[in-house]
Amino acid sequence: MQSSPLLENLVEHLRCLPGVGPKSAQRMAYHLLQRDRSGGMNLARALTEAMSKIGHCSYCRTFTEEEICNICDNPRRQQSGLLCVVEMPADIQAIEQTGQFSGRYFVLMGHLSPLDGIGPREIGLDLLQQRLQSEQFNEVILATNPTIEGDATANYIAEICQQQGIKASRIAHGIPVGGELEMVDGTTLTHSFLGRREL
Amino acid sequence: MQSSPLLENLVEHLRCLPGVGPKSAQRMAYHLLQRDRSGGMNLARALTEAMSKIGHCSYCRTFTEEEICNICDNPRRQQSGLLCVVEMPADIQAIEQTGQFSGRYFVLMGHLSPLDGIGPREIGLDLLQQRLQSEQFNEVILATNPTIEGDATANYIAEICQQQGIKASRIAHGIPVGGELEMVDGTTLTHSFLGRREL
Ligand SMILES: [Zn+2]
Ligand SMILES: [Zn+2]
């Protein structure tokens, strides 16, 4: 690639995408240059806008470019009295696709991991506690990943709920233990919502 | 993804990359937002610069942001008297990695394909003929892909060379027939250079 430092630079930066090695980065760069320059320009604009403007909903912590996201801002969602706690924004999308949940969410942006210095404050549990105090919730559904850390985080939040007299439930069977919630198919996820049990 | 139109937009535009489906586009977008926003910004800049500034070398037609690329501009390369004709810029990189070729290149940006309306002019053969006339070449190495179209293109160019009294050779064994030159390993490519035969 002695012929173009800019091409070399593009290949290098494409590698910041997960799953993209040197060979596929090169293939991507040549593809864009040869066949889809306007696609490349549009992608650049979409990246710039997303990276610079997307922040976190001040209410549920999911990704949004607004102060409060569309889901939190929806009056019908607010009336359900249900709050679903998930680890990552991608989990919301997976749950939304099942069409089984009509409440609102709270995104931890991770899970408790004391050894990595990730305690209750790092996953926003102070904000969650505020929400539980200032609003009327009938049930908090704990949809963290079915891993050791996800289970521990769910139990920790269930205790907070109990202290406040709010019913807490954990999504149940169907999700393979050790799996990632984001990767589960819609039917399995639906079952795990229907089969949730109180903690 | 109701929560962020900008995120939705980013996922959509990531799909212009070859081999990136909806799931991996989503994974890429979340990865950048969650863990590597500066990487995402740098990628946007690299894309913008590459898409807007990279053109073609006026001499060999490979990708470059200069009027004439570094390879064509190199006096040592000019003295070799060798010209290697390839289909795509990526082929140059594959050949450069073998370290076996010290001449210059000519990039067709494709191959003859009359049914698709791609004739001699579309692959720059008028420019190639100019170069063969205005300079002293000892040999033209035809390194088009070993496909039906690549072979036909090589034969067509070999005739042009013969008319001008210039030796033409075709790179030889080692490359699997029907394969893509860009995908061949360095050793195989080296063998095919050493075993080239005159046409
Ligand atoms: Zn929200
Ligand atoms: Zn050049």
Q: Which residues of B touch A47 (CB under 8 A)?
A: 10, 13, 32, 40-41, 43-44, 47
- The residue of chain A nearest to residue B70, with distances taken between CA atoms, is A3
Residue B37 has pLDDT above 60, yes or no: yes
* Integer Cα distance of B10 and B19 in angstroms: 16
Which whole number is the average pLDDT over A7-27?
95
Question: For residue B198, which amino acid is it?
Answer: E
Sign of CA dihedral B11, B21, A147, A86: positive
Distance CA(B25)–CA(B31), nearest Å, equals 10
Note which residues in 114-153 of chain A have CB less than 8 A from chain B. Answer: none
State how far the Cα of A81 lies from the Cα of A84, in Å rounded to an integer.
Answer: 10
Residue A94: pLDDT band with limits 50, 70, 90: confident
B68 touches chain A (CB under 8 A): no
- Which residue of chain B comes nearest to A72, CA vs CA? B3
Chain A residues whose CB is inside 8 A of the B43 CB are 13-14, 16-17, 44, 47
Query: How many CB atoms are located within 10 Å of the residue A22 CB?
Result: 11
Q: How far apart are CA B102 and CA B99, in angstroms?
A: 8
Q: Among the listed ranges A9-23, A183-197, B130-144, which one has the minimum average pLDDT value?
A: A183-197
Predicted confidence at residue B93, as pLDDT, reads 86
Out of A9-13, A140-144, A187-191, B29-33, pick the least confident: A187-191
pLDDT-derived band at A32 (thresholds 50, 70, 90) equals very high
* Domains, in order of start, for chain A: 5-53 (1.10.8.420), 74-170 (3.40.1360.10)
Contact residues on chain A for B40, CB-CB shorter than 8 A = 16, 47, 50-51
pTM to 2 decimals? Answer: 0.79
